[in-house]
Chains A and B, each alone.
Chain A
């Protein structure tokens, strides 16, 4: 989706403001937003790509005016409503007023550290040979899907070069839409600054993205 989350190359947001000795969280509710989001994801009723899609599907004005962990909280609410685990009535009441659904999986305190260390690798066995090799020139596709994609707007329709090949990985565009993992070859593709931003760009800038195979055409 061509949403406000896709920020590369947007202007007028001002300087980068840093905070000395920044804590991991700035308030208790931020701790809970983060921890509850990870704990609830252990139900297995949605995946990471669906989570990202839920956050970037918030109304643009809400996304831009919300702090980061508020976006997480709102994204989690959307996932819970969609999955049916929580209802509008529950949220309106601020407590559980509708029956719970049976869930097969949950996260116990004992499983927190092992699951943190295990993570969720996205690499899968490749079912086809890689279409591109290191050094190949490629053009990114000019796509504007309404659903989730990981091809940023600024890098569409651009000439680049394959720098590395990473095996087959879960394809977020399909995974976020509930269409399964549909793994594809993943590449690091590099572009010159001039290709991305025009003749006024920094002549010594190179920017790369990771691109799934279906984002690319042979140049």
Chain B
């Protein structure tokens, strides 16, 4: 799982073009459908979806409770769900416990809420270390938790996808849902980061 060098990239490019040509010539796929799939994940599906869910959970205790009871249904009511998010669970960070999500076997990730996973999430260093030494992984992200904080790692081994609800930062009373969502980073919903400091965000 290394980064591709330039010469390797060319080989892969040729091979992928040939494969798509064969499938198109044989009538198995429609390249316009491939375009539409790519477009959906580049423009319509990404971590801003998850940030809206987190912001709503912070602002609305009734919604937070609905998420705990049945996250799949709760986010469906916001229009989110489907491929690689058919079954959803939320894990809420507290002062006592920090949650972190990994897929040691492949790359399972809540696509409808976070989009496609970043390269590091799919990489050998993250997949190998997250379940065994999460504190040292967090250090790679510049995150240090108090020694007393428990760490809960979720290894995504089934079609149940996990979203971390980071702690709501202090000093955000009265913020609107959009303003709250601006504090929610992708990494904070994986558990390798925290929500942003409100003093560092322009309202």
Question: Are the CB atoms of A208 and B86 closer together than 8 Å?
Answer: no
Question: Are the CB atoms of B18 and A94 closer together than 8 Å?
Answer: yes
Question: Are the CB atoms of B40 and A150 closer together than 8 Å?
Answer: no
How near does chain A come to B160, taking the closest CB pair, in angstroms?
Answer: 5
A165 to B25 alpha-carbon distance, docked (Å):
46
Question: Are the CB atoms of B158 and A150 closer together than 8 Å?
Answer: yes
Question: Are the CB atoms of B149 and A100 closer together than 8 Å?
Answer: no
Known contacts A119-B81, A121-B86; is A6 also within 8 Å of B12 by CB?
A: no
Question: Are the CB atoms of A39 and B34 closer together than 8 Å?
Answer: yes
Neighbouring A residues of B120 by C-beta, 8 Å: 16-19
How near does chain A come to B69, taking the closest CB pair, in angstroms?
Answer: 12
Q: Is the interface of B mostly helix, strand, loop or mixed?
A: mixed
Question: Are the CB atoms of B34 and A70 closer together than 8 Å?
Answer: no
Closest partner residue, chain B, to A83 (CB atom) = B28
Neighbouring B residues of A170 by C-beta, 8 Å: 159
Q: Is the interface of A mostly helix, strand, loop or mixed?
A: mixed
Q: Interface residue tally of chain B, by bracket?
A: 35 or more
A16 to B143 alpha-carbon distance, docked (Å):
13
Known contacts A7-B104, A107-B33; is A13 also within 8 Å of B128 by CB?
A: yes
Question: Are the CB atoms of A100 and B26 closer together than 8 Å?
Answer: yes
Which residues in chain A, 164-210, are within 8 Å of chain B measured between CB atoms? Answer: 166, 169-170, 172, 186, 188, 190, 193, 196-197, 201-202, 204-210
Question: Are the CB atoms of A10 and B16 closer together than 8 Å?
Answer: no
Q: Interface residue tally of chain A, by bracket?
A: 35 or more
Question: Are the CB atoms of A35 and B22 closer together than 8 Å?
Answer: no
* Residues of A that sit less than 8 Å from B by CB: 5-11, 13-19, 22, 24-29, 31-36, 38-40, 42-43, 52, 55-56, 63-68, 70-71, 73, 76-77, 80, 85-86, 90-91, 94-96, 100-101, 103, 106-109, 111-113, 115-123, 150-152, 154-155, 166, 169-170, 172, 186, 188, 190, 193, 196-197, 201-202, 204-212
* Residues of B that sit less than 8 Å from A by CB: 1-4, 9, 12-23, 25-30, 32-38, 40-42, 45-46, 81-87, 89, 102, 104-107, 115-116, 118-120, 122-135, 137, 140-141, 147-160, 192
A-B contact list, 12 entries, CB within 8 Å? A7-B104, A34-B116, A40-B28, A67-B4, A100-B26, A109-B36, A116-B37, A120-B83, A170-B159, A197-B132, A202-B135, A209-B155
